[in-house]
Amino acid sequence: MTNREKTLASLNQPTYSQATVRTLITQLTTVGEGAPSVLKKGDVYKVQVGAKYRPAVIVRVLPTVVYSIPLTHENGEFSILPVDSRFFGQGYFCNQLLSSTIEYAKSQFLGVFDNMKSVNEALKLIKEQVKKL
State the DSSP string of 64-101: SEEEEEEEES--STTEEEEEEETTTEEEEEES--EEEE
Q: How far apart are CA 1 and CA 80, in angstroms?
A: 43
Query: Looking at the chain, which runs of residues are DSSP E strands?
Result: 43-49, 52-61, 65-72, 79-85, 89-94, 98-101, 109-112
Q: How far apart are CA 74 and CA 94, in angstroms?
A: 9
pTM for the whole structure: 0.73
**Where in the chain are the domains?**
1-30, 43-131
Query: H or E element: which one contains 5?
Result: helix 3-10
- Summarised one tens digit per residue, pLDDT across range 37-63 is 899 999 999 998 888 899 999 999 999
Q: Which fold has domain 43-131?
A: SH3 type barrels. (2.30.30)
Q: How far apart are CA 56 and CA 45, in angstroms?
A: 6
- Summarised one tens digit per residue, pLDDT across range 92-129 is 999 999 999 999 999 999 999 998 999 999 999 999 99
Q: How far apart are CA 28 and CA 48, in angstroms?
A: 21
What is the rounded average pLDDT for all residues in the chain? 85
Three-state secondary structure call for residue 56: strand
Q: How far apart are CA 42 and CA 1, in angstroms?
A: 29
- Summarised one tens digit per residue, pLDDT across range 2-42 is 777 777 676 666 666 777 766 666 665 555 567 788 999 99
Give pLDDT, residue 15: 67
Q: Could you tell me which residue, 64 or 88, shows the higher pLDDT?
A: 64
